[in-house]
A and B are shown apart, each in its own frame.
Chain A
């Protein structure tokens, strides 16, 4: 690092202070007007609770106290006669009616153990096994778009999710709580960070986001944190902007329901209600852009079929996922159903996976976002040629 004389720096500072600190204009146009939102539910969402297979003969017995019913108080919301939707997911049920909801069942990443961290690593990195990649598949995918406007991909989270981590620059946003500092202060911070590529880069990207966000976010959520209800609004507004983001990742946690999970009501039901509200907010804020939007709701693994000793469920394998939005061909449940008889279960305890998550992700990148399939197979999910993208999921 070169030693700068005080005078040189002060001179530079003096001139910098005269220039207004304006955000850099987006130089490249967005390659597509499609939007992609990935919602990662951290903790292992209980797929059998959100998409109960009411018609499966073993369902009620296997699930015991956690089993939902098709009638009476707290009845699950009807879908196709085989599967139903958890009663708290009313907005999503409305989307089903619009043909904009595609529930997917018995789906899992290639990971077959039960650690949250490794499972999330596999889900987000797109590898066959944990720690094969250091970056996220969605970040690798960004390279396929060529030069991108800044802020094209955004995490709406307090910390950068691995899904978007990597060499392609991405933004991050969470509703600001503290009083904002003035331009003069930021100009001097820019001076401080000039020799520090890591901080300089983070800082300049944040400034751009804030500038773009100023118009879009008229009052963000009141509370902080990854509470989906608070980030869904800003995310939707930002995605709706012509110069805003096109790719967003949200990652609310708290889905690891080991104890007292509840069935039609209770802890999980309350969280599902929040998720449902968040999706409603996202749709409302997207406005006309909803027609071009696909939202994927995924989780690192499902949960055990049977209830455990404390009224909850433990880490499982296959679970449920959703594709929803104006760009999704909904109105049917996508599942190669393996059954819930004890002989049908994975290791005698979990729902057996019959679909691979990467098939869903590939379809989203190729059919919805328009990336080339050979690029996706070579650079994003290398070595996964055998996994064919799910077909007929997106309007394209």
Chain B
């Protein structure tokens, strides 16, 4: 078992499952690089509906008689809630069992970069589909392809209010009372591409907002499109628009917007912004300037090839430094802890898959009956289902998937996550988890299996002196080496 293999699972992956570090052997870099490149969608997600299907099957309120609209709306909300629970459960199932930890970290990084959140309730049913459709398939492509996919996805268009944005001088704008919404344009410039110091102005925000008018969501069966995106010409602000000194002539379709987004992807500030975020995520809250420059250079030289940039992370001189610097965020900590406790029967994944099945079945069985649905939910809550309990406690740690408080996503620095109260909560979480599970491996050998050479002398000693296997396991998760990566 080598230090490099341990670091590969610990720093770049989701944390080792027992046996994983051994299996990597001496080929740590290969293990990481082999996870890059195009890959099919994980089979576990096959049953989940895509955005096109979801928006295509949603009824158009206008066509529903007024007296039925309230009930229809409630049903849609319940469907979104059930689907969201299913998505989160299956996402955890995959995280608990996958052998491609590096790939999953990259999915999470990019999903956080292009954050969509249930803080906008209308997006709730679509957020899972967003990660699976706009992020996962584009890990090995170019940044601009992921940017385009994210900006077009119904989840993003709804989350940042672009689905209703209307150009003031458009056909629709002059008729209805609706108007321009700047939210998506601002966040694309500030968060997704150039970054807040990247050199854009308020005028650029307005220009991009105008360019993106008409970028909307397909509604109902008649409107169906392959990805749920629909360009509504009569909402589009007519004429050419000037963004960052460049003029974008009218094209009569979303081509104007596509060109603008491609140019934003190629802007030098974007390369710098992305390089900084990647370096911060994997290496240090305040990443060294030379590291950022290296990544930035790769980004620019390859025209934004994410594959090349991800490879550059692995080949960076600091990639396998033995000093653990980054503080694990709550979700990283939770996933690593449960992975550490997985055996050949994969109880963690099985638990989550069963829960996902329950959420789906519950919704179907209720068959439109709101009271029945409510009763079933109450029963599930009272049943002390272990998967539900687990999800509830994860929520308690403050980083439930797709619930980031703002479009900036989850913060990536120790200061945010290591407040005194937050630290003690993790300890209590670890303690509660370890005391509830049958412990099959003694803490010492477990530390050896999931931390290997990363475990310090002190940690080994404290584990050896633990009062019980459960306590020792909790202490392993509490240890400084487990809290950092």
Interface residues of A (CB under 8 A from B): 1, 3-6, 9-10, 13-14, 42-43, 113-118, 130, 155, 157-160, 165, 171-174, 176-181, 184-186, 188-189, 191-196, 198-199, 202-203, 205-207, 209-210, 224-226, 253-254, 256, 258-259, 308-310, 312, 314-315, 347
Q: Inside 8 A of B464's CB, which chain A residues have their CB?
A: 6, 10
Interface residues of B in 418-449 (CB under 8 A from A): 418-425, 427-429, 431-432
Going nearest first, the 4 A-B pairs with the smallest beta carbon separation are A309-B179, A206-B420, A172-B419, A9-B461
Q: Are B425 and A159 in contact (CB under 8 A)?
A: no
A5, A14, A159, A171, most chain B CB atoms within 10 A: A159
**Complex CA–CA separation, A261 to B166 (angstroms):** 17
Q: Inside 8 A of A186's CB, which chain B residues have their CB?
A: 427
**Known contacts A6-B464, A224-B398, A259-B181; A172 and B414 CB within 8 A of each other:** no
Interface residues of B (CB under 8 A from A): 119, 161, 164-166, 168, 173, 178-183, 186, 190, 196, 202, 393, 395-396, 398, 405-406, 408, 411, 414-425, 427-429, 431-432, 456-462, 464-467, 471, 474-475, 478-480, 483
Q: Are A173 and B421 in contact (CB under 8 A)?
A: yes
**Complex CA–CA separation, A130 to B190 (angstroms):** 14
Q: Inside 8 A of A310's CB, which chain B residues have their CB?
A: 161, 164-165, 178-179, 181
Q: Inside 8 A of B196's CB, which chain A residues have their CB?
A: 115, 117-118, 130
**Known contacts A159-B419, A209-B421, A310-B178; A254 and B465 CB within 8 A of each other:** no
Q: A206's contact among B398, B417, B421, B459, by CB below 8 Å, is which?
A: B421
Q: Are B202 and A192 in contact (CB under 8 A)?
A: no
**Complex CA–CA separation, A113 to B478 (angstroms):** 42
Extra 8 A-B pairs, beta carbons < 8 Å, given A160-B418, A192-B462, A259-B164: A9-B457, A114-B202, A160-B415, A202-B419, A206-B424, A258-B161, A309-B173, A310-B165
Q: Inside 8 A of B202's CB, which chain A residues have their CB?
A: 113-114, 347
Q: Inside 8 A of A1's CB, which chain B residues have their CB?
A: 456
Q: Identify 29 residue pairs between A and B in the complex whose beta-carbon atoms are under 8 Å apart, listed by A's number.
A: A4-B461, A5-B457, A6-B457, A10-B461, A10-B464, A10-B465, A14-B465, A42-B406, A113-B202, A115-B186, A118-B196, A157-B419, A160-B416, A160-B419, A181-B431, A185-B475, A189-B427, A191-B462, A192-B480, A202-B423, A203-B427, A206-B424, A207-B424, A253-B405, A256-B406, A258-B181, A309-B165, A309-B181, A312-B161
Q: Are A192 and B419 in contact (CB under 8 A)?
A: no
Q: Inside 8 A of A159's CB, which chain B residues have their CB?
A: 398, 411, 416-417, 419, 422
Chain A nearest CB, measured from B332 CB (Å)? 15
Q: Inside 8 A of A113's CB, which chain B residues have their CB?
A: 202
Q: Inside 8 A of B459's CB, which chain A residues have their CB?
A: 192
Q: Are A309 and B475 in contact (CB under 8 A)?
A: no
Chain A nearest CB, measured from B354 CB (Å)? 23
**Complex CA–CA separation, A21 to B45 (angstroms):** 48
Q: Are A177 and B393 in contact (CB under 8 A)?
A: yes
Residue of A nearest to B436 (CB): A179
**Known contacts A159-B422, A189-B475, A206-B421; A195 and B431 CB within 8 A of each other:** no
Q: Are B179 and A209 in contact (CB under 8 A)?
A: no
Chain B nearest CB, measured from A148 CB (Å)? 15
Q: Are A4 and B466 in contact (CB under 8 A)?
A: no
Q: Are B427 and A309 in contact (CB under 8 A)?
A: no
Q: Inside 8 A of A210's CB, which chain B residues have their CB?
A: 424
Chain B nearest CB, measured from A204 CB (Å)? 8
Chain A nearest CB, measured from B40 CB (Å)? 37
Q: Are B462 and A184 in contact (CB under 8 A)?
A: no
Residue of B nearest to A173 (CB): B421
Chain B nearest CB, measured from A10 CB (Å)? 5
Q: Are A13 and B465 in contact (CB under 8 A)?
A: yes
Residue of A nearest to B162 (CB): A310
**Complex CA–CA separation, A14 to B461 (angstroms):** 12
Chain B nearest CB, measured from A308 CB (Å)? 6
Q: Are A185 and B471 in contact (CB under 8 A)?
A: yes
Chain B nearest CB, measured from A47 CB (Å)? 19
**Complex CA–CA separation, A179 to B181 (angstroms):** 45
Q: Inside 8 A of A158's CB, which chain B residues have their CB?
A: 398, 419, 421-422
**Complex CA–CA separation, A176 to B474 (angstroms):** 18
Q: Are A253 and B179 in contact (CB under 8 A)?
A: no
Q: Inside 8 A of B398's CB, which chain A residues have their CB?
A: 158-159, 224-225
**Known contacts A176-B425, A188-B475; A314 and B416 CB within 8 A of each other:** no
Chain B nearest CB, measured from A202 CB (Å)? 4
Q: Are A13 and B462 in contact (CB under 8 A)?
A: yes
**Complex CA–CA separation, A130 to B197 (angstroms):** 10
Residue of A nearest to B164 (CB): A310
**Known contacts A192-B478, A258-B161; A309 and B411 CB within 8 A of each other:** no
Q: Are A194 and B458 in contact (CB under 8 A)?
A: yes
Q: Are B119 and A193 in contact (CB under 8 A)?
A: no
Q: Are A155 and B424 in contact (CB under 8 A)?
A: no
A9, A171, A256, most chain B CB atoms within 10 A: A9
Chain A nearest CB, measured from B398 CB (Å)? 4
**Complex CA–CA separation, A180 to B474 (angstroms):** 13
Chain A nearest CB, measured from B196 CB (Å)? 5
Q: Are B428 and A188 in contact (CB under 8 A)?
A: no
**Complex CA–CA separation, A193 to B462 (angstroms):** 11
Chain B nearest CB, measured from A169 CB (Å)? 9
Q: Are A180 and B428 in contact (CB under 8 A)?
A: yes
Chain A nearest CB, measured from B422 CB (Å)? 7
Q: Inside 8 A of A195's CB, which chain B residues have their CB?
A: 458, 480
Q: Are B396 and A4 in contact (CB under 8 A)?
A: no
Residue of A nearest to B119 (CB): A254
Q: Are B461 and A6 in contact (CB under 8 A)?
A: yes
Residue of A nearest to B414 (CB): A198
Q: Inside 8 A of A194's CB, which chain B residues have their CB?
A: 458
Residue of B nearest to A116 (CB): B406
Chain B nearest CB, measured from A351 CB (Å)? 16
Residue of B nearest to A177 (CB): B396
**Complex CA–CA separation, A205 to B424 (angstroms):** 10
**Complex CA–CA separation, A159 to B416 (angstroms):** 5
